[in-house]
């Protein structure tokens, strides 16, 4: 028979683990929850409302202490410096606020509206136009009117029909050039938007990896805790001059290459960073 009062820890020791320890060591849980909480919170200390509030409440002496308290709440000082160095979201979003782009359908609709406009204003000289330009505009409107009203075409002579044809061909060329320019501009802006989306995605990926790296370091975990060797270039800081405004497409391409290298922990990071400083920040 068994002795139920006997201490069995020496025979089969059982380690009691909490749910938090199990989740922290579970790679699946890290994969599911690793993408949440990557967006940086609003920096209240840099807002316009905060700028107006400080003189009203006379809190200038407490700004430093509030920033320190906010730093303790949001994370380590390294993460704050990282957020300040790589926070280009506001600059990129501000550059997206541009004039609307006319599509090909809108340009064609505008051409149709011009061709349908007729009235007594034909032949009236414009205040800022020359007589030659006014005459050309009048000829254009006459040609368009002749095109709209098919009955008038039957009364025109061969020479007049040739003039209408020449004028319509000129209008087609002008509007075709405008259409080509607008389509080229649209393609350029779409490419710029794609660059900015790629830049933001890489930036969030690097910030996510840095956040996990700082968490593991604060908890005293080994460098290869997640089966990945300790990164060498993950904490690299990319210098940026905020006074220059939003980066150009060429600068974005260079920054994307640097972020790709940092994200992959590639040894090409120092070379790319040096080229960026010499060609973009301090060009000779």
In a domain, 33, yes or no: no
76 has pLDDT over 50:
yes
| Distance separating alpha carbons of residues 212 and 4, to the nearest angstrom | 47
In a domain, 118, yes or no: yes
pLDDT at residue 49, as a whole number: 79
What is the count of structural domains for the chain?
Answer: 1
User: In terms of pLDDT, which residue wins out, 179 or 17?
Assistant: 179
In a domain, 246, yes or no: no
Give the structural domain span for 109: 104-184
Instruction: State mean pLDDT over 3-25.
Output: 70
Residue 91 near residue 245 (C-beta atoms within 8 A): yes
87 has pLDDT over 70:
no
In a domain, 247, yes or no: no
Question: Residue 12 has which token pair?
Answer: 């089969």
212 has pLDDT over 70:
yes
36 has pLDDT over 70:
no
Q: Mean pLDDT across the chain, nearest whole number?
A: 71
In a domain, 125, yes or no: yes
pLDDT at residue 125, as a whole number: 43
User: In terms of pLDDT, which residue wins out, 133 or 242?
Assistant: 242
Residue 233 near residue 269 (C-beta atoms within 8 A): yes
173 has pLDDT over 50:
yes
In a domain, 272, yes or no: no
Instruction: State mean pLDDT over 83-97.
Output: 54
pLDDT at residue 220, as a whole number: 74
In a domain, 20, yes or no: no
pLDDT at residue 172, as a whole number: 85
In a domain, 108, yes or no: yes
- Least confident range from 68-72, 157-161, 168-172: namely 68-72
Burial 242-261, CB ≥16 within 10 A → b, else e: eeeeebeeebbebbbbbbbb
């Amino acid at each position: 028979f068994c002795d139920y009062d006997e201490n069995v820890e020496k025979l089969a020791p059982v380690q009691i683990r909490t749910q938090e320890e199990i989740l922290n060591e579970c790679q699946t849980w890290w994969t599911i929850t690793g993408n949440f909480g990557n967006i940086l919170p609003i920096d209240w200390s840099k807002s316009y409302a905060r700028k107006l509030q400080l003189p009203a409440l006379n809190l200038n002496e407490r700004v430093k202490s509030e920033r320190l308290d906010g730093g303790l709440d949001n994370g380590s000082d390294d993460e704050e410096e990282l957020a300040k160095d790589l926070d280009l979201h506001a600059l990129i979003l501000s550059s997206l606020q541009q004039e609307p782009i006319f599509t090909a359908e809108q340009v064609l609709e505008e051409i149709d509206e011009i061709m349908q406009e007729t009235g007594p204003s034909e032949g009236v000289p414009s205040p800022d136009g020359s007589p030659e330009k006014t005459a050309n505009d009048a000829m254009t409107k006459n040609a368009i009117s002749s095109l709209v009203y098919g009955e008038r075409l039957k009364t025109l002579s061969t020479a007049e029909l040739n003039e209408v044809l020449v004028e319509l061909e000129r209008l087609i060329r002008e509007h075709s050039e405008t259409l080509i320019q607008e389509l080229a501009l649209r393609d350029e802006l779409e490419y710029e938007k794609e660059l900015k989306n790629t830049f933001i995605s890489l930036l969030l990926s690097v910030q996510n990896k840095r956040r996990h790296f700082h968490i593991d370091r604060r908890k005293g975990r080994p460098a290869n805790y997640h089966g990945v060797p300790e990164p060498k270039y993950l904490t690299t800081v990319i210098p940026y001059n905020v006074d220059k405004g939003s980066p150009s497409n060429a600068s974005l391409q260079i920054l994307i290459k640097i972020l790709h290298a940092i994200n992959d922990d590639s040894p090409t990071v120092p070379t790319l960073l040096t080229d960026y400083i010499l060609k973009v920040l301090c060009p000779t």
